[in-house]
Amino acid sequence: MKKWLLLAIAAMLLTGLSGCGKSVEEQINVGVASAQTVFEETPREPNKKIGQIELYLPSGYSIKETDDVNNYVISKGKDNYILFVNVNEKEDSKLHYELLKKNSAKKIVKEQPVELDGVFGFTMVIKHNDDQYELIASSGGVKLSTISNGRNMDDKLVEMMMIARSVEVIR
C-alpha cells in the first residue's frame, strides 16, 4: 500500500513539475520581447577585447577568433554562438535582416525589428526541425546566432542581444 502511495505522489509531482516549464512558444515570445527591451537600453560597457572588436560578455561566456577576421566563436557551457561583425556596415544597416527575410527557405517563427536613435537591430527565431531553432540577435553590422534545442531560449535571446549591442569596432 505504501509503495503505491509513494508512486502516486511521485507521479503527481513529476506531472506538476513538467508543467512549470515554459513552452517553446512562451520562451520565444518572452525572449524576443525582452531582447527588444535590451536593445532599447544603453549598451553594456565592453569587458573583452579580441581582434578588431571590443564587446561585453556576460559571466560564463568565452570568445575566440577564427580564421575569418569577421567571425568569432562565443561559448557558454555546451552552447556555441557565431558572432559575425561586418566592419563596413553602419549602425543603421538592415543587410542581415533583409537577407534573412528574402530567403524563402527560412521558416521564421518570430521576428522583431527595432530602430532607435539611428541604430537598426532585430531578433529572429527560425525553425530548423522539430526541436531545433536558430536564434539571431543583430545590431547594425553585428549578428550573433546559435542553434537551440528549445530550452532557455528566452534567456539566450536576452544575453545575445546584450552582446550584439555592445560590440564596438576598434579603428
Quick: pLDDT tens for 79-101.
Answer: 999 999 998 899 999 999 999 99
Rounded-to-integer distance, Cα 123 and Cα 114, Å: 9
Residue 112 counted as domain residue: yes
Q: What is the pLDDT of residue 131?
A: 86
The answer to whether the beta carbons of residues 40 and 115 sit under 8 Å apart is no
pLDDT tens profile 136-170? 999 999 999 999 998 899 999 999 999 999 999 98
Could you tell me whether strands 53-55 and 48-50 are parallel, antiparallel, or unpaired per DSSP bridges?
A: antiparallel
pTM for this one? Answer: 0.85
Residue 83 counted as domain residue: yes
Q: Is the pLDDT of residue 6 over 70?
A: no
Count the domains in the chain. Answer: 1
Residue 114 counted as domain residue: yes
pLDDT tens profile 103-143? 988 899 999 999 999 999 999 999 998 789 999 999 999 99
Residue 5 counted as domain residue: no
Domain that holds residue 71: 22-169
**CATH classification at residue 154:** 2.60.120
Residue 130 counted as domain residue: yes
Backbone angles phi, psi at 83, to 5 degrees: -105, 120
Q: Is the pLDDT of residue 17 over 70?
A: no
Residue 15 counted as domain residue: no
Q: List the beta strands (DSSP E) in the chain.
A: 48-50, 53-55, 62-65, 71-76, 79-85, 107-116, 119-129, 132-139, 142-148, 168-169
Residue 9 counted as domain residue: no
Residue 2 counted as domain residue: no
